[in-house]
Amino acid sequence: MNNRIASKTLDFVGISSAFAKKALDEISELRGDAKKAAELSSDTLNLMVETNTVGEHQKEAAAEMLQSHAQTLELLQNAVRKIAALEETTKSASDLGHAVDPASAGISHGSSYDSLADPFVGRYTSQKKASDDAILAVLDR
């Protein structure tokens, strides 16, 4: 009976040691990740302040948020939303335009300029002159 208890005890110690080693390895990995995150948080905070993503008065609150994994992910989500909004704005600005009628574009068809009644002779203008009508009539033949 003593051999059986000794055998079970050795099995228990072996299994406990394996689980303890696995737990210690996971703790070591988590601590390593936490250390890397802590090293990057100050650079990230400085970048956020430099790019005006976070105001100088919000620096302390942002530093606390960067210490929490969940709040860091909230900051990331906000950044992704802002990037998506900017991309939508950029896409709409770069899309090709479409034709609109002059009235909706704010262009008036009627010109108040009349070259025959204008008191200045030889005025340069982009408006159609009476002499333009004569030239266009010859060209339209």
Q: Is residue 84 part of a domain?
A: yes
112 in any annotated domain = no
Whether residue 104 is contained in a domain is answered as no
Which pLDDT value is given to residue 91? Answer: 62
- Would 24 be classed as within a structural domain? yes
Question: Does residue 22 surpass a pLDDT of 80?
Answer: yes
Position 53 in a domain:
yes
pLDDT by residue (tens digit) across 89-123? 766 655 666 666 666 666 665 666 676 777 777 77
Q: What is the domain extent for residue 83?
A: 2-90
**Is residue 117 in a domain?**
no
53-91 pLDDT, tens digit per residue, is: 888 888 888 888 888 888 888 888 888 888 888 877 766
Q: State the pLDDT at residue 109.
A: 59
Of residues 133 and 7, more confidently modeled: 7
Taking only Cα atoms into account, the Rg of the chain, rounded to an integer number of angstroms, comes to 38
Residue 28: predicted pLDDT: 94
Residue 34 pLDDT level (bands cut at 50, 70, 90): confident
Is the pLDDT assigned to residue 1 strictly greater than 70?
A: no
38's CB contacts (< 8 A; 6+ apart) are 67
Provide the pLDDT for residue 111: 63
**CA 15 centroid distance within chain:** 51
Q: Could you give the number of structural domains in the chain?
A: 1
Terminal-to-terminal C-alpha distance of the chain = 124
The sign of the CA dihedral 35, 36, 39, 44 is: negative
pLDDT band, very low/low/confident/very high, at 139 (cuts 50, 70, 90)? confident
pLDDT of res. 25: 93
